């Protein structure tokens, strides 16, 4: 039995093509440096939860959700366990992640050796309601094949920005 590539990988890559510009609207900072879209980091540089700076004014009475995902698991040439979810911070208002809920705790990049360059995509969503998530993301198997499109649809999320960096293994 061969494993198929999730339709969510194609969905995610299609989204990333639409947001190539406006790099300062959603900024990711690891250690002391902001990350430019497409920058290459090491696993060590990105192991701790980053500082996130959002420079987009929120609409009144809305909630935001930040998702970090790797579409290239276990390798870019065979992403059969992707998308792999690395972080979901939900239900924050304004631009303050500290007030949000960790639906999926942060897990730094960890691509297997010799699997090539992995993309780590941050997606910023907005909604008019609080996200309620019962699924647990405590283990590696629970993070594999994340159904991003269903998550977005079920929670009535609207994508407002995305950015990404890469890690080479």
Domains of the chain: 7-168 (3.90.280.10)
Q: Which two tokens stand for residue 48?
A: 């701790």
CA neighbours within 13 Å on the CB side: how many for 160?
20
The number of beta carbons lying within 10 Å of the beta carbon of residue 106 is 15
What pTM was estimated for this model as a whole? 0.90
pLDDT of residue 95: 85
The pLDDT tens digits for 63-79 are: 999 999 999 999 988 88
> Are 48 and 85 within 8 A, CB to CB?
no
Radius of gyration of the chain (CA): 15
**How does pLDDT run across 30-57, given as a tens digit for each residue?**
988 888 888 999 999 999 999 999 998 8
Q: Where are any strands of DSSP class E within 5-96?
A: 26-30, 33-35, 39-41, 51-54, 63-70, 84-92
pLDDT classification of 126: cutoffs 50, 70, 90: very high
When pLDDT is cut at 50, 70 and 90, the band that residue 1 belongs to is very low
């Amino acid at each position: 039995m061969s494993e198929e590539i999730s339709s969510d990988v194609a969905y995610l890559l299609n989204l990333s093509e639409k947001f190539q510009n406006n790099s300062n609207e959603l900024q990711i900072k690891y250690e002391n440096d902001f990350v430019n879209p497409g920058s290459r980091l090491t696993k060590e540089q990105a192991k701790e939860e980053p500082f996130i700076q959002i420079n987009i004014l929120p609409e009144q009475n809305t909630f935001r959700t930040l998702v970090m995902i790797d579409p290239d698991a276990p390798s870019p040439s065979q992403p059969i366990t992707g998308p792999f979810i690395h972080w979901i911070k939900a239900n924050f208002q304004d631009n303050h992640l500290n007030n949000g809920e960790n639906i999926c705790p942060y897990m730094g990049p960890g691509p297997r050796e010799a699997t090539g360059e992995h993309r780590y995509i941050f997606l910023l969503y907005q909604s008019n309601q609080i996200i309620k998530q019962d699924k647990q993301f405590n283990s590696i198997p629970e993070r594999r094949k994340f159904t991003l499109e269903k998550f977005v649809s079920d929670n009535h999320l609207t994508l407002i920005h995305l950015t990404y960096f890469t890690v080479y293994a």
